[in-house]
């Protein structure tokens, strides 16, 4: 019986994403921002944790060329089965990109943001990138445009970016020390020459910092992405976080290195490891002292389409969009209605939060003794902020930490996609063990339903399956389960430890 459930997990429509109502019990992420910035990001799924449950984004792959080499990137980008930055299925010309953007905007009205993120560096492809932006700002003025860059060509592009009304830029900054940079970037192409080693890293770092300053001066919002590479820049990223915040970046996104050998990257082939989830979380927590942190990034492909964590690119291949007849003026009107509806819902939620904060009701944390240890729990959701996904349908789990001080979103865990257990690839059993492996460190998993077989395997693995809170809001359910654990004496270990300690 469970096999049927797993079969359904291969149905990509069904098995989508995190689209839950609140990967942000860390609403403080937004609270620290000025009203002006908040307005700019409130419907941007990559910049606002709250928005990413409601609004979708897309990337168009018009920028294949790159002017640097990163050791975590393989320039052979043409792969349909991998989900990571720098990978695409088909390159588009600027005209094709505009056609695709309008088709997606008409069919997925909650798509608010169009980004150019590769598969190379957008600013190393200035003609293709800026042609696309120019046409879109003329033909689809209701779409926000953003770009993501390694920063090498950024100072020379700021003028042009401002001209196209691009008010969001992401710079990938992995270091501010050339010594460390030389271990990440073997070379850059600069002033018609290939430059290597520390000298190359220094030029890149200088350009990134200069570009960051220039963007901030013009009031363009900057997010900084950093790849956490254990033993290379992990400690150093705390300093990076401090510096970029000081220079005016408004959000820092520390992402784990992806270094599977089969991706063919230098780091992958050489056996450089990526960080464990706990290492990533610790670093994000340490950087958070200085900076707004982003924890909901899914490290998407350079041609991703849809809500973060889902990819509907298959629905919008060139042959499929060629057959669509899009009336963009009509689409724009329909889109506005959808956007207004979502904003209204978000406003209501915000107002409710403010009301609750104003009336100082006894907070749930007051009911929980401060000596209980925190617990990680995984949640299966397909949107709306609810526990509403079958365990077997989940392609990712959201991880929350419950502690005496409340519930907070920690991050997401992808279920191993390399063997999803369909008919052509491997055994169904391995998909299940992939799900269970991805839950390492979590003590419970909350989902709408779960089959008998995974139930017992999860229990064996020390993860308590819980289907009792189906259709409940995530954070309330997580808190309820935490209290149930306390009531059942499951967290008495922390109590004992403390009593022994104080005795």
Partner 1 sequence: MALEIVDSCVNCWACYDVCPSNAIYSSSPHFKINPRKCTECEGDYHHPQCASICPIEEAILDAGGAPLNPLGSLTGIPPEKMEEAMREIQAR
DSSP letter for each residue of 128-169? HHHHHHHHHHHH-TTSEEEEEE-STTHHHHHHHHHHTT--EE
Query: H-helix or E-strand containing 431?
Result: helix 428-438
Q: How far is the CB of 493 from partner 1 (least distance, A)?
A: 33
Tokens 């640097």 — which residue? 68
Task: Quote the crossing angle between the two packed helices 197-217 and 154-163, to the nearest 10°.
Answer: 30
Residue closer to partner 1 (CB basis): 116 or 481: 116
| Contact track, partner 1, 273-292, x by CB under 8 A | x-------------------
* Minimum CB distance to partner 1, residue 194 (Å): 5
**CA distances, 431 to each of 95, 276, 353, 453, 460 (Å):** 40, 20, 39, 13, 17
Residue 272 binds partner 1 (CB under 8 A): yes
Task: Write the DSSP assignment of 363-409 as a string of letters.
Answer: PHHHHS-TTSPPEEEEE---STTB---BGGG-SEEEEEEEETTEEEE
Which two three-digit tokens encode residue 97?
Answer: 């990109």
Minimum distance of partner 1 from residue 101's CB (angstroms): 21
For 374-402, b where at least 16 C-beta lie within 10 A, e where not — what string?
Answer: ebbbbbbbbbebbbbbbbbbbbbbbbbbb
Closer to partner 1 by CB, 78 or 344: give it.
78
When binding is defined by CB under 8 A, the residue of 37, 66, 175, 204 that contacts partner 1 is 66
Specify the stretch interacting with partner 1 by CB under 8 A; choose among 129-137, 267-275, 317-325, 394-402.
267-275
Answer for which of 8, 12, 131, 197 binds partner 1 (CB under 8 A) is: 197
Site for partner 1 (CB under 8 A): how many residues? 31
User: HSE (CB half, 13 Å, CA atoms) of 263?
Assistant: 24
Are 44 and 342 within 8 A, CB to CB?
no
20 or 207: whose CB is closer to partner 1? 207
Comparing CB distances to partner 1, the nearer of 197 and 374 is 197
d(CA 245, CA 292): 9
- Sites for partner 1 among residues 110-169 (CB under 8 A): 119-120, 124-125
Burial class (CB in 10 A: 0-12, 13-18, 19+), 45: buried
Residue 94 or 119: the one with the smaller Cβ distance to partner 1 is 119
Stretch of residues binding partner 1 (CB under 8 A), selected from 35-43, 65-73, 327-335, 352-360: 65-73
Q: How far is CA 358 from the centre of its chain?
A: 32
Residues within window 74-113 making contact with partner 1, judged by CB under 8 A: 75-78
Q: Measured from the CB of residue 90, what is the shortest distance to partner 1 in angstroms?
A: 12
Shortest distance (Å) from residue 120 CB to partner 1:
6
Nearer to partner 1 by Cβ, of 232 and 304: the residue is 232
Pick from 266, 365, 464, 467 the residue near partner 1 by CB under 8 A. 266
**Closest distance to partner 1 from the beta carbon of 351 (Å):** 49
C-alpha–C-alpha distance, residues 252 and 246, integer Å: 12
Give whichever of 318 and 330 is closer to partner 1, judged by the CB atom: 318
**Spatial strand order in the sheet of 68-69:** 68-69, 187-190, 193-196
- Closest contact distance (angstroms) between CB of 326 and partner 1 is 28
Residues 201-240 that bind partner 1 (CB under 8 A): 229-232
Contact set for partner 1, span 370-409 (CB under 8 A)? none
Tell me the closest approach of the beta carbon of residue 264 to partner 1, in angstroms: 10
Inter-CA distances, 184 with 201, 233, 356, 390, Å: 9, 9, 47, 40
355 binds partner 1 (CB under 8 A): no
**Shortest Cβ distance from residue 85 to partner 1 (Å)?**
15
Query: Residue 343's Cα: distance from chain center in Å?
Result: 21
Cα–Cα distance measured from residue 454 to residue 14, given in angstroms and rounded to the nearest whole number: 19
User: Min. distance of Cβ 165 from partner 1 in angstroms?
Assistant: 25
Q: Does 270 bind partner 1 (CB under 8 A)?
A: yes
Residues in contact with partner 1 by the rule CB under 8 A: 64-67, 69, 75-78, 119-120, 124-125, 186-187, 189, 192-194, 196-197, 229-232, 266-267, 270-273
């Amino acid at each position: 019986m469970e096999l049927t459930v797993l079969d359904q997990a291969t149905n990509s429509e069904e098995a989508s994403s995190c689209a839950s109502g609140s990967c942000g019990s860390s609403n403080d992420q937004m609270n620290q921002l000025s009203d002006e910035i908040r307005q700019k990001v409130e419907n941007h799924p990559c910049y606002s944790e709250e928005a990413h449950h409601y609004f979708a984004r897309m990337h168009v792959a018009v920028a294949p060329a790159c002017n640097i080499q990163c050791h975590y990137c393989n320039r052979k980008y043409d792969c349909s089965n991998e989900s990571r930055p720098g990978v695409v299925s088909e390159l588009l010309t600027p005209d094709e990109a505009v056609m695709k953007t309008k088709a997606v905007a008409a069919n997925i009205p909650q798509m608010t943001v169009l980004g150019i993120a590769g598969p190379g560096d957008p600013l190393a492809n200035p003609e293709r990138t800026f042609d696309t932006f120019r046409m879109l700002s003329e033909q689809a003025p209701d779409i926000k445009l953003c770009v993501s860059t390694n920063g090498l060509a950024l100072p020379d592009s700021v003028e042009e970016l401002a001209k196209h009304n691009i008010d969001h830029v992401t710079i990938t900054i992995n270091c501010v020390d050339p010594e460390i940079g030389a271990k990440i970037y073997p070379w850059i192409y600069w002033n018609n020459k290939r430059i290597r080693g520390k000298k190359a890293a220094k030029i890149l770092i200088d350009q990134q910092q200069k570009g960051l300053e220039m963007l901030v001066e013009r009031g363009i919002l900057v997010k900084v992405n950093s790849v956490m590479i254990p033993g290379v820049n992990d400690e150093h990223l705390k300093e990076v976080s401090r510096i970029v915040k000081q220079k005016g970046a408004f959000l820092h996104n520390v992402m784990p290195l992806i270094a599977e050998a089969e991706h063919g990257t230098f780091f992958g082939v050489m056996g450089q490891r990526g960080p464990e989830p706990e290492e990533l979380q610790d670093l994000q927590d340490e950087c958070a002292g200085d900076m707004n942190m982003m924890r909901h990034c899914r490290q998407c492909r350079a041609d991703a389409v849809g809500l973060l964590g889902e990819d509907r690119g298959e629905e919008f291949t060139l042959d499929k969009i060629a057959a669509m007849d899009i009336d963009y003026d009509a689409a724009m009107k329909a889109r506005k209605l959808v956007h207004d509806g979502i904003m209204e819902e978000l406003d209501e939620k915000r107002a409710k939060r403010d009301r609750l904060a104003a009336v100082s009701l006894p907070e749930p944390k007051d009911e929980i003794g401060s000596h209980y240890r925190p617990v990680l729990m995984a949640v299966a959701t397909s949107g709306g902020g609810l526990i509403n996904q079958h365990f077997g349908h989940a392609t990712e789990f959201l991880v929350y930490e419950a502690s005496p001080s409340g519930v907070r979103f920690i991050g997401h865990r992808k279920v191993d996609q390399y063997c999803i257990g369909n008919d052509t690839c491997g055994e169904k059993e391995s998909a299940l063990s992939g799900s269970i492996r991805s839950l390492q460190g979590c003590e419970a998993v909350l989902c709408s339903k779960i089959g008998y077989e995974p139930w017992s395997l999860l229990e064996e693995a020390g993860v308590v399956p819980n289907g009792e809170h189906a259709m409940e809001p995530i954070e309330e359910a997580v808190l309820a389960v935490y209290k149930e654990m306390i009531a059942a004496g499951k967290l008495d270990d922390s109590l004992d430890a403390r009593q022994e300690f104080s005795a």
